[in-house]
Amino acid sequence: MHNSEVAIDAGLARRLVDMQFPEWRHLPVNPVAFGGWDNRTFHLGDAMAVRLPSAAPYSLQVEKEQRWLPKLAPLLPLPIPTPLAMGKPAEFYPWHWSVYRWIEGETAKTAQITDRRAFAIALADFLVALRGIDPTDGPGPGPHNFHRGGPLSVYDGEARQAIDALEVRIDTRAATAVWEAALAATWHGTPVWFHGDVASGNLLVEDGCLSAVIDFGTSGVGDPSCDLAIAWTFFEGDSREAFRGRIAVDDATWARGRGWALWKALITVAGHDANQAEAERQRHAIEEVLADHRKWA
pLDDT in tens, 231-243: 999 999 999 999 9
The pLDDT tens digits for 96-154 are 999 999 999 999 998 999 999 999 999 999 999 999 999 999 999 999 999 999 999 99
Residue 26 zone, left/alpha/beta (φ > 0; ψ -120 to 50; rest): alpha
Note down the domain range covering 21. Answer: 10-102
Look up the CATH number of the domain holding residue 59: 3.30.200.20
In-domain check, residue 75: yes
In-domain check, residue 1: no
In-domain check, residue 200: yes
- Tell me what the pLDDT averaged over the chain comes to: 95
For residues 268 and 153, the answer to whether their CB atoms sit within 8 Å is no
189 plus 277 within the same structural domain: yes
176 plus 285 within the same structural domain: yes
Q: What is the pLDDT of residue 77?
A: 98
137 plus 279 within the same structural domain: yes
In-domain check, residue 265: yes
In-domain check, residue 290: yes
252 plus 134 within the same structural domain: yes
For residues 179 and 172, the answer to whether their CB atoms sit within 8 Å is no
Q: What are phi and psi of 59, to 5 degrees?
A: -65, -20
Among 102, 130, 160, where does a domain finish? 102
118 plus 234 within the same structural domain: yes
Among 50, 72, 102, where does a domain finish? 102
pLDDT above 70 covers a percentage of the chain that reads: 98
15 plus 130 within the same structural domain: no
Give the span between the Cα atoms of 135 and 137, in whole angstroms: 6
Among 102, 127, 144, where does a domain finish? 102
227 plus 151 within the same structural domain: yes
The single-letter DSSP state of residue 170 is S
Q: What is the pLDDT of residue 34?
A: 73
In-domain check, residue 2: no
133 plus 21 within the same structural domain: no
Structurally, how many domains does the chain consist of?
2
21 plus 138 within the same structural domain: no
Confidence of residue 1 (pLDDT cuts 50, 70, 90): very low
In-domain check, residue 4: no
26 plus 117 within the same structural domain: no
Sheet containing 106-107: which strands, arranged edge to edge? 106-107, 203-206, 209-213
Judge whether residue 4 has pLDDT over 90. no
Q: What is the pLDDT of residue 2?
A: 41
Describe the crossing of helices 156-165 and 172-184 by its angle, rounded to 10 degrees: 170
The single-letter DSSP state of residue 204 is E
When pLDDT is averaged across residues 272-295 and rounded to a whole number, the result is: 91
Look up the CATH number of the domain holding residue 123: 3.90.1200.10
In-domain check, residue 226: yes
220 plus 78 within the same structural domain: no
155 plus 276 within the same structural domain: yes
- In this structure, the number of other CB atoms found within 10 A of the CB of residue 64 comes to 18
- The reply to whether the predicted model has a pTM over 0.85 is yes
| Residue in 57, 227, 37 with CA at minimum distance from that of residue 145 | 57
Handedness of CA 65, 71, 76, 81 (dihedral sign): positive
